[in-house]
Amino acid sequence: MSAFLRHVSQLAIELAHALVELQILGAPEEILNQMALIQSEIDAFMTDALEGKASPKFDRPAYSKRIEALRRQIVRELAWKSSAMRERGA
């Protein structure tokens, strides 16, 4: 497997771990769905690449930006939930 495919494979593994963690933390369904969509896109790319059909245009920076935007959204959501829970408990 080429270094590039190993890199993409590592990204897919990291994304899968993040998705499980988010499910455990109770992330909103919308965010989980977006993460799952990214994961399925990466999985499809990997399948095509392993079968020799992949386009060389896997845009790692674009995926990184999408994942980072979702991460920021999750942090905001969790901070909002935490704040709301504190207000109810006070």
Interval 7-56: pLDDT, tens = 777 777 877 887 787 788 777 788 788 878 888 887 887 787 778 776 65
Residue 1 scores a pLDDT above 60: no
- DSSP secondary structure letters along 27-50: --HHHHHHHHHHHHHHHHHHHHHH
Q: What is the pLDDT of residue 85?
A: 65
Residue 73 scores a pLDDT above 80: no
Whole-angstrom Cα distance, residue 87 to residue 30?
Answer: 25
Closest CA to 7 of 65, 68, 66, 59: 59
Residue 83 scores a pLDDT above 60: yes
Q: Is the pTM of this model over 0.75?
A: no
Q: What is the pLDDT of residue 57?
A: 67
